[in-house]
Amino acid sequence: MGNVLQSSPDSHKKDLATMLKTLDAECRNCAPTSPLECINRCQAYKLKNELRKLNQTMENPNYLKELFNVLKNETRLHILKAIADGKYSVSQLQQELKKTGRTHSQETINEEYLQPLLAVGLANESCDEYYATHFGGRLTEVLGVFPEFAEVLPARSECHEETLLRSLLAGPKTFEEIETVISPKVASRILKRLREVGLIETPEDREYIFFFRSKRDPSLETLSETERKVYDSIPNEGISAGKLSRETQLSTRRIYKYLRGLKGKKLVFVRKTPKAYGLTCKGETLASVLEGMHEIVEETWNSSQKVFHAAENS
C-alpha cells in the first residue's frame, strides 16, 4: 500500500503540467502489489483518467459557457467547495446545506446541483460519494477570491458579461471598441447591467468635449486678466468646460465666453474625447478571477490533449 502514489493535500495548487511530469517520474518507480491497487489508489492513474474524460467534455464548442453557467449558482458553489475538501454522500450534502438554511430533497440535490457539476467535469462520483476533481478543486480556489461570483453575474446567460470584463483588464474601452468584443445588439444592455452591480464605471466627468492649449505663444496676443486666468488653468492633458469653471470659480457661461475668445486668438483648440468604460476595483477583481479560470481551463485542455494522444499512441 505504501508504494502506491497518494494525493497530497496541496495537489490542487500545483501546476498541472509539472504535476503530471512529477507523477510520471514517480510512477515508473512505483511497485503496487496488484493492478487493481494501482487503479484504485494511484493518483497518476486517477488524474490521467480525469483528463481523458475532460478531453471529451471540453470538445463541446459551448463548454466554457456551460461551465460558467453551472458555476453561477450559489448552492452549486457551496457543494463544490464542500466536496473539494472531502467526499460526501447526497445525504451528507443535504445536512451540509441545511446548515446554511437551504432545504432540498436528495433528488433535487442530485439532479439540480450534483449532475451539472459532473457534466462539466468539476466533480466525480464513487461508491455513492461525490468529490471534486482536480480541475474542480483548482477552480474552487480561484473562485474563493470573489465570493459574490454567483450573485453579480446572470445565470443561464450567453456569458457576454464575462467576455467584456476580461477584455477590460487591458484598459478602458469606448463603446465602439466594446462593440467589437460583444454583439452590438446587446452591448448597451450588458454595460447597463455591469454598471448596476458596480463592476464597471465611466469617468466622473461626463463632459467629453475638452479644451487644450495650442502651441501658439500667448505673448503674441493681448489677454485680459480673466482670459489669462482661464488660459493658465488649462492643463496639458486638456480640460472640460465644467471642470475649468470649478477650477477658476467662474460661471460656465463666462467660461465659454472666454474660451471662444481664446479660440479666436488660436490659443485654444477643441477635441472630443470619447466616453470610455473601465473596471471598478470590484470589477477588476472579478475580471482577474475570470482570467484565472480561463487559464486553468486552457491548461487543463492542453494537458488532456497530451494524455489523450499518448493513450492513442500507446
144 lies in the same domain as 232: no
311 confidence band (pLDDT: 50, 70, 90): low
34 lies in the same domain as 131: yes
Gap between the Cα atoms of 244 and 48, Å rounded: 64
pLDDT attached to residue 307: 77
123 lies in the same domain as 245: no
Domains: count for the chain: 2
Which residue, among 120, 194, 121, 135, has the nearest Cα to 162 in the 3D structure?
194
Max CA distance (Å), the chain: 98
Domain annotation covers residue 190:
no
157 confidence band (pLDDT: 50, 70, 90): very high
Q: Which residues contact 262 (CB under 8 A, 6 or more apart)?
A: 227, 230, 231, 268
17 lies in the same domain as 105: yes
The residue range of the domain holding 70 is 11-148+296-313
Gap between the Cα atoms of 154 and 199, Å rounded: 13
Domain annotation covers residue 90:
yes
pLDDT above 70 (res 92): yes
269 lies in the same domain as 304: no
Domain annotation covers residue 153:
no
300 lies in the same domain as 244: no
pLDDT attached to residue 207: 55
268 lies in the same domain as 301: no
Question: Are the beta carbons of 165 and 182 closer than 8 angstroms?
Answer: no
220 lies in the same domain as 260: yes
The share of the chain scoring above pLDDT 90, in percent, equals 71
86 lies in the same domain as 22: yes
pLDDT attached to residue 125: 94
- The tens digit of pLDDT for each residue in 59-77 reads 999 999 999 999 999 999 9
271 confidence band (pLDDT: 50, 70, 90): confident
pLDDT attached to residue 6: 38
Strand partners, 129: 126
pLDDT above 60 (res 169): yes
Domain annotation covers residue 120:
yes
Give the single-character DSSP code of 60. Answer: S
- The tens digit of pLDDT for each residue in 211-245 reads 999 999 999 999 999 999 999 999 988 898 989 99
20 confidence band (pLDDT: 50, 70, 90): low
- The tens digit of pLDDT for each residue in 124-144 reads 999 999 999 999 999 999 999
Domain annotation covers residue 37:
yes
305 confidence band (pLDDT: 50, 70, 90): confident
3 confidence band (pLDDT: 50, 70, 90): very low
pLDDT above 80 (res 109): yes
237 lies in the same domain as 303: no
Residue 274 has, within 13 A of its CA and on its CB side, a CA count of 10
pLDDT attached to residue 5: 31
Task: Tell me how crowded residue 309 is: count the other CB atoms within 10 A of its CB.
Answer: 11
34 lies in the same domain as 87: yes
Gap between the Cα atoms of 307 and 122, Å rounded: 18
112 lies in the same domain as 45: yes
CATH code for position 235: 1.10.10.10
3-state SS of 226-259?
HHHHHHHCCCCCCEEHHHHHHHHCCCHHHHHHHH
Domain annotation covers residue 161:
no
Gap between the Cα atoms of 117 and 124, Å rounded: 8
Domain annotation covers residue 101:
yes
Domain annotation covers residue 91:
yes
Give burial (CB, 10 Å; 0-12/13-18/19+) of 181: middle
